[in-house]
Structure 1
Amino acid sequence: MSALEVERETVLAAGLPALQRLAIIAQRDTGQAATVRLFLLGLYNGYRFPFNLTTLRGLDLELFSDCIAVLTLDARATVKEVHQYFNNGGELFEQFAEIAMESRA
């Protein structure tokens, strides 16, 4: 197995469960959930949903670590777009977008 394949497997093993946890959190109605939601939307479409990385400072350690694992997944595994790891991921992330827009109004 090549070094790239080993890295990809390692990143997937950490990133996929973190992504699942963050998607659950993003559906909640808390300040940390809003940050997670905006982080995921930034990965989904950074032009449409720019994300200020300093916002991650407000997360507890577990959520922060999950965000870093998902960022690493998105940057290093490059297997799929972040929303494509879910069935109906486009719909899920558009729901996140609706929630984000409602909270800004």
Structure 2
Amino acid sequence: ENMSGFTTPSGERFQLFGEGGGQELADELDVPLLGKVPLTMPLREQADAGLPLVFTDPDDPAAQGIRHAARGLVALFPAELPMLQAVPAAHADAPAPTGFQLPVVQA
């Protein structure tokens, strides 16, 4: 449930768009509600900066909601995910890799 209320820096919560709409829709479609992600200032600030809130401010209520939803997805589709490993170039004259650079998360 995106924009599930607004949480102030002091932790006070306001329901800007009503409450329970996400659960009603999930019930109607017979699917689980994976999580509720409130609007927070850090969420907006980190999104504007292009930074993942779950890494920059993991204790923020929105980050907690995002992690909760992600855990719900993993639980719905349990599968062992492949591990990506860096492979060194065969030789010094190998062409530079092309494409997108993806962020790497190390546990």
- TM-score, L = length of structure 1: 0.29
* Higher fraction of strand: 2
* Higher fraction of helix: 1
Larger Rg: 2
